[in-house]
Amino acid sequence: MIFQSPNDASMEVECVKYQERMDSEQAECRHPADYCRFRTSCIIHFLSREKRKEEAGAEGGQPVATDEQDNDCQNRNKRDSDADAL
């Protein structure tokens, strides 16, 4: 969810799962290892990935993981947690 002040150019974004708000400039998932069903449509996840891509491009560093790789990791974490629950 995105909140924007009418007098300010900055945005405030909210984590749907944990109801945590943060400024869009500092948007970073605070629970990246946790399973999140909202991640594929999460503005915080999108903004943090874009920020990492910009930093990696500027530094000439390692490529950032694709959304498909993130989803594979998320699915693995969910399977592991489901197996632990049994």
The pLDDT, as a whole number, for residue 26 is: 87
Instruction: Note down the domain range covering 50.
Output: 2-85
Rounded Cα gap, residues 56 and 5, in angstroms:
31
Q: Which residue has the higher pLDDT, 17 or 71?
A: 17
Q: How many domains does the chain fold into?
A: 1
State percent of the chain over pLDDT 90. 37
The answer to whether 3 and 21 are in contact (CB under 8 A) is yes
Read off the pLDDT of residues 29-55 as tens digits, 9 standing for 90 and up.
Answer: 999 899 999 999 999 999 999 988 998
The answer to whether 44 and 27 are in contact (CB under 8 A) is yes
Give pTM, 2 decimals. 0.58
